[in-house]
Structure 1
């Protein structure tokens, strides 16, 4: 290496080697004065591969309020500033990834997602100019610097995207956030917009995938297929305790009739179920399937099975709690594939113990981002979850309702389309605008 350059590879934890690198140049190094920023930026920031980037002109965030040491000092924002500040490095210049194109970091990248993105890059015209760099690790204090030189990052539920991480990403030159999930931990759109970040939220699942999984959970729990399977593996062919009930003729209450809830109502009507529905608006497809809209109180009191498909907002948090459980039909089976916080877990445990709830199937769990999507074998991650796991009439899975090839491939394709539109300066599909922002928190 020449004397006037210092390789930063060792200062960037877990940073990929080879072409993904940063060089610090001495004060006399300068970017090409003819470099011009593209015309598609939300704020007037020149791409890192075209300029020498000085310490970013943003105010430091407030002190970190979260207790986890991994997300405390030194803050990711401070880490990024130390890499970019004149004191630590008079000037920072990013090595260009190619003559044209855009680098994108995909945090929390799963192997099946990498395969999907690589496949879909070939199907979107002009997307070959986009350089996808998968990072298996989540976004946090130790991985924020991997975004150096990237114009966009793609985030998942396990990514820690509070104000400090947003400052770190902005300091690294990131201009756009794309979510391939409903949100990220501690993420707030208002804070992102204040830093000049653009946001895109492509549809994150195929309704059919989630609806089919909802019915699968119901069938598995009701007919105790998971218990029977484990027994047979151990050589136990006894049928004792495996009694279920027929769905035909039963009343199913569908709470929330968006695309998923409507699909669930359609599927279960095919089983011969009577459909009751609750939502602020009525869906024609539910009515055409023989469904009837009623109040939430009547739905809970009349339904043998209740499926939850409502969005999470203040009005729906702990929608299933002590009060609503007490109004449910005795022995009701509840299935939740929407958002974990729709159910007050401790109230549900009491309902299960008393027999008011006859069965509970969940693919989501309140506070799941601290444990779901990770291997926690041998760890005690949540005491309430341990209690639920020990109950024979409870079935819990790790948020896999949308894990189908069709759904994952669709997410990859729409994400790549958004990135291409951003690169070309076009209006982005699924972009969240500041004037339409609801200030919602992800995760």
Structure 2
């Protein structure tokens, strides 16, 4: 079988070659993303694997893809909001994602950012650069076991995150419309409003859907406890960035840890002069109580290998007419 793997990153190449040697399938690795401009590259291939966050194309794009004989798209990500699922369905294209590549990787980054903000590391660093080494009472920290953590979205990643916080002694609240009782030993299930009002740390682990877009905006920030910390390891569009900036500037929020931004596709995983990055990022990056990372929570050796192998396995299954448990359904 011939598979073309779009958006191939340097770190993925050894694992793709490993998979090809193990399975005997041919994998062409290209750095370009799958777009309307690169669509012709799929000619002669049986299946497609992608790794990107920006939208692929319009309805006609998917029709052309199907005309070229492609019946599936396997994304090497948990998120699939870059794909038009209705257009895929209309053109007989099956979509698979990698929902579970290493939940622990994202959970560890979540905790890393939370502890950085909780212990005011960025704020100390900012003052120390100015020669201020005093024990300022404004920067006194709390300890995690005294706090309440609210996890919004309690799937594989949210569940792993909850377990880490629980292991450190925090009280963990969780909200998910599909209550996953597997995590009941680690969380107290409640409603989203209760989490917004009572949690000291609020962490997001939901997909980006019309119903979840801007789920944290001015009304939610205003309802949070003064000094609360917001963590987003999922999708940038879950947070209204302008409202987040207002809440941080007013000092109502204590801090924000962001591995993803709504406009990240325009500069993440690129080398861009700071003054050419989006204005909202420039503001966030200058705040000592904000930690932004370029969508790298997943970026561990375990995750990359699993993402590549699972994605390519699913290409073979779907092309061969088999069912994959990773199929994304409308």
Tell me the SS of whatever aligns to 2:145.
Answer: coil
CA contact (8 A) 1:151 1:176 kept: no
Aligned partner of 1:250 in structure 2 is 147
CA contact (8 A) 2:42 2:68 kept: yes
Cα deviation, 1:33-54, whole Å, max 9, x if unaligned, reads xxxxxxxxxxxxxxxxxxxxxx
Question: In the alignment, does 2:231 pair up with 1:339?
Answer: no
Q: C-alpha displacement at 1:246, in angstroms?
A: 1.7
Q: C-alpha displacement at 1:175, in angstroms?
A: 3.2
Q: C-alpha displacement at 1:321, in angstroms?
A: 1.0
Aligned partner of 1:106 in structure 2 is 5
Q: Aligned partners of 1:204, 1:285: CA distance in 2, in Å?
A: 15
CA contact (8 A) 1:161 1:184 kept: no
Aligned partner of 2:33 in structure 1 is 138
CA contact (8 A) 1:107 1:159 kept: no
Question: In the alignment, does 2:119 pair up with 1:220?
Answer: no
Aligned partner of 2:71 in structure 1 is 175
Question: In the alignment, does 2:19 pair up with 1:120?
Answer: yes
Aligned partner of 2:304 in structure 1 is 408
Q: Aligned partners of 2:251, 2:322: CA distance in 1, in Å?
A: 56
Aligned partner of 1:302 in structure 2 is 198
CA pair 259-430 structure 1, distance change in 2 beyond 3 A? closer
Q: Aligned partners of 1:231, 1:333: CA distance in 2, in Å?
A: 20
Question: In the alignment, does 2:56 pair up with 1:157?
Answer: no
CA contact (8 A) 1:253 1:307 kept: yes
CA pair 160-266 structure 1, distance change in 2 beyond 3 A? closer
CA pair 295-132 structure 1, distance change in 2 beyond 3 A? same
Q: Aligned partners of 1:301, 1:196: CA distance in 2, in Å?
A: 44
CA contact (8 A) 1:121 1:413 kept: no
CA contact (8 A) 1:220 1:226 kept: yes
Aligned partner of 2:177 in structure 1 is 280
Tell me the SS of whatever aligns to 1:191.
Answer: helix
Which of 300, 306, 327 does residue 223 from structure 2 map onto?
Answer: 327
CA pair 215-145 structure 1, distance change in 2 beyond 3 A? same
* Higher gyration radius (CA): 1
Aligned partner of 2:208 in structure 1 is 312
Cα deviation, 1:371-424, whole Å, max 9, x if unaligned, reads 222222345232222221121111111111111111111122212222332454
Return the TM-score normalized by structure 1: 0.67
Cα deviation, 1:288-317, whole Å, max 9, x if unaligned, reads 23x322332222222211111123223322
Cα deviation, 1:165-208, whole Å, max 9, x if unaligned, reads 334433444332111122264x3122123233333223353211
Question: In the alignment, does 2:250 pair up with 1:354?
Answer: yes
Structure 2, unpaired ranges of 5+: none
Tell me the SS of whatever aligns to 1:319.
Answer: coil
CA contact (8 A) 2:94 2:318 kept: no
CA pair 165-359 structure 1, distance change in 2 beyond 3 A? same
CA pair 349-109 structure 1, distance change in 2 beyond 3 A? same
Tell me the SS of whatever aligns to 2:5.
Answer: strand
Q: C-alpha displacement at 1:265, in angstroms?
A: 1.6
Aligned partner of 1:367 in structure 2 is 263
Cα deviation, 1:90-112, whole Å, max 9, x if unaligned, reads xxxxxxxxxxxx22111110011
Cα deviation, 1:119-158, whole Å, max 9, x if unaligned, reads 23344xxx20x21111112223442222221121111224
Q: CA RMSD in A?
A: 2.6
Q: Aligned partners of 1:109, 1:165: CA distance in 2, in Å?
A: 21
Q: Aligned partners of 1:220, 1:243: CA distance in 2, in Å?
A: 13
Tell me the SS of whatever aligns to 1:268.
Answer: helix
CA contact (8 A) 1:304 1:332 kept: yes
Q: C-alpha displacement at 1:248, in angstroms?
A: 2.0
